[in-house]
Amino acid sequence: MQPHSNSVQPMARLLRKLAQLASGERYLFTPDDLRALVPDISEGAYKTLLSRAASEGHLTRVCRGLYLFEAAKPSSGLVLFHAAARLRAMQFNYISLETALSDYGVISQIPINWITLMSSGRSSIIACGHWGSIEFVHTRQKPQDLVGQLHYDARCRLWRATSQQTLRD
């Protein structure tokens, strides 16, 4: 007879389920994502579990509302881009300004540990620990007005402005 899955310690269940879900491409999780993996424990027990998972090195807090599962072995060079895509998934965002200008070779400065995106959401800078910072700059431009000026960058999981649009931004 197999023991009921809830009899296994919450930490072991959380880590087992994360190991099944996570990959090098899927390694960032919100607290709600993680909560769904242990729905049977109280809110207080869940907060303690999350804190313990972080202090023991299983999860790393990237920024408020986003955790990285270390065992998934993510590509560290893309964490900021992937974090931006997760954090503002419900807004229209695209890579532009210094990040895109540098990528296109228009400016010689290479932003280190800093990415800049245009966003339909509010302007803000989000600190992401040793990975760097994400700057969201508010834009009133609508996606339909930028047809032909953006292309999807699957590696970054974000839209990217053309060099012409980047200069206009």
Please write the tens of the pLDDT for every residue from 17-66: 999 999 988 999 999 999 999 999 999 999 999 999 999 999 999 999 99
Q: Which fold has domain 5-72?
A: Arc Repressor Mutant, subunit A (1.10.10)
Paired tokens of 34: 């993680």
Residue/partner pairs of 36-43 with CB below 8 Å, 24 or more apart: 37/13, 38/10, 38/13, 38/14, 40/6, 41/10
Please write the tens of the pLDDT for every residue from 66-99: 999 989 988 778 999 999 999 999 999 999 999 9
If phi > 0 it is left, if psi is from -120 to 50 it is alpha, else beta; for residue 157 that is: left
What kind and span of H or E run contains 159? strand 158-161
Q: Would you kindly state where each structural domain of the chain is located, as residue ranges?
A: 5-72, 76-168
**pLDDT given for residue 8 in this prediction:** 66
Burial 116-132 (b: 16+ CB within 10 A, else e): bbbbbeeeeebebeebb
**pLDDT given for residue 29 in this prediction:** 97
Please write the tens of the pLDDT for every residue from 118-169: 999 999 999 999 999 999 999 999 999 999 999 999 999 999 999 999 999 9
- Would you say residue 2 has pLDDT above 70? no
Q: From the CA atom positions of the chain, what is the Rg in Å?
A: 19
DSSP state of 36: T
**pLDDT given for residue 24 in this prediction:** 87
